[in-house]
Structure 1
Amino acid sequence: MIPATNLGRLLSQTARRLPDAPALIWRDQAWSWAELNARVDRLAAALRAHGIGQGDRVLVHARNGNAMFESLWATWKIGGVWVPTNVRLTPPEVAYLAEASGARVMLRDHGFAAHADAVREAAPGCRLVIAVGDARANEADYETLLTEATPPPLNHEAEVGRDDPCWFFFTSGTTGRPKAAVLTHGQMGFIITNHLADLMPGLTERDVSLVVAPLSHGAGIHALCQVARGACSVLLPGERLDPGVAWDLIARHGVTNMFTVPTILNMLVADPAAAPHQLRHVIYAGAPMYRADQLRAMERLGPCLVQYFGLGEVTGCITVLRPDQHSTEDAAPGALSVGAPRTGMDIAILDEEGRHAERGEICVRGPGVFAGYFQNDVANEKAFRQGWFHTGDLGFLDRHGFLHITGRASDMFISGGSNIYPREVEEALLTHPAVVECAVVGLPDPRWGESGVACLVLRAPTPPEELLAHLDGRLARYKHPRRFVVWDALPKSAYGKVPKTLLAERLRAEGVGFAGPNKEN
């Protein structure tokens, strides 16, 4: 074993350095670093008292709140593995995650009793259920557990190795069952350092971060950096984003940074209260940010946008586009890209045979890459080929070394023998002033093999003929969608993405398709 720092010590160190400074604010409650660390230590002691320790998986099904935040640090301090879920998942879906991860304990938020019952049935090894607020007779109450625990001594954090797991980061499962990407203490130590260097340089205890996305995903990674530097994190009061409330919190608490996904950023930018304030780093990732939306955000918020590209398996650590690299001039280096390689990471564009190519699959290697999928040799063999991790995304590196994404390999469809990448079509449609949101998916077509259907959210009724005329001169005719469908909103995953699988399912349910060579239904 190669020894590594137990990442739980990041909280211990900050609490020692800044005991009275604000650490976490949620609704009408605030915790100092000393108070937060003491609660985490008591939770760690309680878990140990129930026989939970080194290598054990702790399943957490909770909304953003202090218990969710505390559970990560307590799990790490005992040498366990944090297994967060998304609260939008159903009981059977959470039960699968418990079974697949081999969870030994579950922390559930109030209102999720049915999820706990499903977990107990599917994963007999998960005998301890800790409930926040509505514990039943066969469950432990969260606050009571902490009150009754004996505080552990200083330096009680478990000894860990560089390759010891600390987080099972489950994939979204849009193309099958979710897979547990194994993140380790050594890898995550690099990720936190890299995020601080490349995404938020100069972060200190004088900064404040607003959490507007689930801590179970990218926002949780972002929060680790705040703890490492002693910056306070502010949580939204409710489950759903209210842009007006978010902007009020930004102004009231002097928020300087936040992590978002494009859908959330677009909502914030559209709010009348949107303004630069004191924001220095507004980081967005997780889905394509279309150029029209990006320009609007730059205009409203000023030079604070930070874009990165990354997957859960690489913990977001593939590229970065700094605020000074965001430009309204399309010809400026990097302006239309997702950024340049992150410090210490390497990118290659490979063809299907694993040879370097101008255009192809985006592959990556470096200390930010995860340790592999938990107990899934087939997936690991597919993902790690030719010495690279294969992202499944397609793109190219321009002459300045900036990465451009052309789409997902699985999203591409072939119409009349020609490859069509939906993102290219979406970008062109979004330049029409009536188009608010757009997603293109290929559906079976008896004449062409597959043809594109554009799913739109519009500001005002717009005939298909006008949209097609708008595409003339912007896209080759064979790339034009054959159908346009207008919805009030696009179907989104629990993480705010618009998976093509959800689009295809809804289109099939509504009977949208191509019935014959000369007839559309």
Structure 2
Amino acid sequence: MTADPKGGVAPQSLRVMNLSHFVTQAARRQPEGVALVWGEASWSWSAFEARIDAMAAALSTRFGVTKGDRILVQSQNGNQMFESMFACFRLGAVWVPTNFRQTPDEVAYLAKASGATGMICNAAFPEHVAASRRDCAEIGFVIAIGDADFGPSYDGLVEEFLGQKVAEASVDRDDPCWFFFTSGTTGRPKAAVLTHGQMAFVINNHLCDLMPGLTADDAALVVAPLSHGAGVHQLTQVARGVKTILLPTERFDIDMAWRLIERWRVSTLFTVPTILKLLTEHEAASRYDHSSLRYVIYAGAPMYREDQKRALKTLGPVLVQYFGLGEVTGAITVLPPALHAAEDGEGVRLGTCGGERTGMQVSIQDEAGKEMAPFETGEICCTGPAVFVGYYDNPEANAKAFRDGWFRTGDLGHVDAEGFLYITGRASDMYISGGSNVYPREIEEKILMHPAVNEVAVLGMPDPLWGEIGIAVCVARPGAIVTEAEIAAHLDGKMARYKLPKRYLFWESLPKSAYGKITKKLIREELERRGDLGAVAADIPSPDRQTA
């Protein structure tokens, strides 16, 4: 180290630990401990480490993969999918996982956008390989998980190179390890660049704020694709030597999930509100012992209060909510179990997603970047070590995403006097009716308090008189019957009249993204496909614009 002109000390290196070293640490501490369970198969930490070493050696020796190369991975959850993460990290290469439900053309776009030079693909997706090779000439090799004629076998390569080790690549704090593609609900997906230093902070932050006290005696159930948030969580579990339990099939089997929770004494799982709702409202929840659960973590979308209350009554005080985007790997706010209440009452914070995460700072800003006072609605911005370095090869998106060192989430909300954050919705979800801002989430919360309504989405649509008006797409609970007039009567007096939807539609279900989220883009597309937008517009009477 050398002295800088201000009398401090200037570091000579920004080197950090290679994230693959977490596996090595777990294998040293408990070589025969259970690392991973998938169906009837399981792997010890020493076996898991050996397979990662073998695949890293194959990638390096057979295919010439070096630091900085991007490796596209298209596969359902499985041991190979999980191993590939650490094999890439070990070489200093970049793991580029897709959501396996994406189409061949969508995956080909990710290959091109990431500049992938190699691909690991499940045998079930030959069309995805063909499309990726067509659109991305840089792909020099493809490895097949399972039997396929588009490339050598993943397991065959592991067997061939078993026993060989490669040195962990030296990495700096800002060296990329993972291209985390956004869901693309408002356009083409963008590759958020996650780095070794950033993710090391996120792992410690998750352990501090979301699931403190985890040890090798714990087990984590994976009910979501490892390509996104679930992968971040399992990387966190590996850091503590926690068992990872995968569902045996790609189909989400609720009964099987509860069975595995009982069998493996699962203590933590990560999911999204729609999946948590399915889990806790299923009859299997009462047939299996889930007393081992300590942290049931949900994120990815707000959870409506009525769903929260039902989940708490089923599971007890184990819910943990956090808010964050892929670009910040979820680390913006947290609402721990102690701040979840099963009943409404004095002192209960309704609708909050919690307070700032350790080491992170939140700021509510207006369009000019000025910080707003408590209870004033603005854009949620954040800063801290969990924020990514930017989008890969996308200067225009980076210019929009950052302002004065703050990452702009695109979400709207406010904080109270104690700093608890309340999300109003996406900036793109808000609509302006008769000059007044309308935030759909507030309306959705009120509609869901009706006992016959299971799901709802409120959207703004163009109107020649008022600019935009709201429509609510509702899903009734199984066996329940509810009418438009009943919902309107239920809302009467609960909010200002200008916020009330002007029409209510009833569907059997709401379309969801590949991650189980209810997204307004998909609902709007379905409205257009059904022709409901035109029908609604023709049927809307001149609305009553009273403000109270």
TM-score norm. by structure 1 comes to: 0.97
Instruction: Report the alpha carbon displacement of residue 331 of structure 1 after superposing the two structures with TM.
Output: 3.8
Counterpart selection for 2:405 from 371, 381, 387 = 387
Alpha carbons 1:330, 1:336 under 8 Å: kept: no
Q: Distance in 2 between matches of 1:330 and 1:61?
A: 47
Taking the TM superposition and a 5 Å limit, the aligned residue runs for 1:102-501 are 102-136=115-149, 138-149=150-161, 151-153=163-165, 156-274=167-285, 276-327=290-341, 328-332=343-347, 334-357=349-372, 358-459=376-477, 460-501=480-521
The alignment-based identity, stated in percent, is: 57
Q: Distance in 2 between matches of 1:146 and 1:506?
A: 45
Unaligned runs of 5+ in 2: 1-12, 544-548
Counterpart selection for 1:97 from 110, 125, 130 = 110
Instruction: Report the alpha carbon displacement of residue 449 of structure 1 after superposing the two structures with TM.
Output: 1.3
Alpha carbons 1:265, 1:284 under 8 Å: kept: yes
Alpha carbons 2:433, 2:467 under 8 Å: kept: yes
Counterpart selection for 1:6 from 11, 14, 18 = 18
Instruction: Report the alpha carbon displacement of residue 178 of structure 1 after superposing the two structures with TM.
Output: 0.4
Q: Distance in 2 between matches of 1:454 and 1:309?
A: 25
Alpha carbons 2:322, 2:332 under 8 Å: kept: yes
Code of the aligned partner of 1:95: A
Instruction: Report the alpha carbon displacement of residue 96 of structure 1 after superposing the two structures with TM.
Output: 0.4
Tell whether 2:70 aligns with 1:57.
Answer: yes
Q: Distance in 2 between matches of 1:204 and 1:343?
A: 21
Instruction: Report the alpha carbon displacement of residue 259 of structure 1 after superposing the two structures with TM.
Output: 0.3
CA RMSD, 1 decimal: 1.4
Tell whether 2:81 aligns with 1:68.
Answer: yes
Instruction: Report the alpha carbon displacement of residue 239 of structure 1 after superposing the two structures with TM.
Output: 1.1
Q: Distance in 1 between matches of 2:524 and 2:457?
A: 11
What's the CA shift string for 1:421-456, capped at 9, x where partnerless? 110110000000000001111111122211111111
Instruction: Report the alpha carbon displacement of residue 152 of structure 1 after superposing the two structures with TM.
Output: 3.3
Deviates more, 1:188-197 or 1:102-111: 102-111
Q: Distance in 2 between matches of 1:479 and 1:66?
A: 49
Q: Distance in 1 between matches of 2:495 and 2:165?
A: 66
Tell me what 2:28 maps to.
Answer: 16
Q: Distance in 2 between matches of 1:288 and 1:14?
A: 34
What's the CA shift string for 1:11-69, capped at 9, x where partnerless? 01111111000000001100000001100100000000110110000100000100110
Matched positions, count: 518
Code of the aligned partner of 1:24: L
Code of the aligned partner of 2:344: E
TM-score norm. by structure 2 comes to: 0.93
Code of the aligned partner of 1:477: R
Alpha carbons 1:445, 1:517 under 8 Å: kept: no
Code of the aligned partner of 2:506: V
Instruction: Report the alpha carbon displacement of residue 79 of structure 1 after superposing the two structures with TM.
Output: 0.4
Q: Distance in 1 between matches of 2:422 and 2:345?
A: 13
Unaligned runs of 5+ in 1: none
What's the CA shift string for 1:179-229, capped at 9, x where partnerless? 000000000000000000110100000000000011001110110111111
Q: Distance in 2 between matches of 1:36 and 1:274?
A: 32
Q: Distance in 1 between matches of 2:442 and 2:464?
A: 24
Q: Distance in 1 between matches of 2:204 and 2:94?
A: 20
Structure 1 residues 180 and 330, CA, compared in 2 at 3 Å: closer, same or farther?
farther
Alpha carbons 1:199, 1:306 under 8 Å: kept: yes
Q: Distance in 1 between matches of 2:165 and 2:292?
A: 40
Give the 3-state SS of the residue equivalent to 1:213 in structure 2.
coil
Alpha carbons 2:57, 2:165 under 8 Å: kept: no
Give the 3-state SS of the residue equivalent to 1:134 in structure 2.
coil
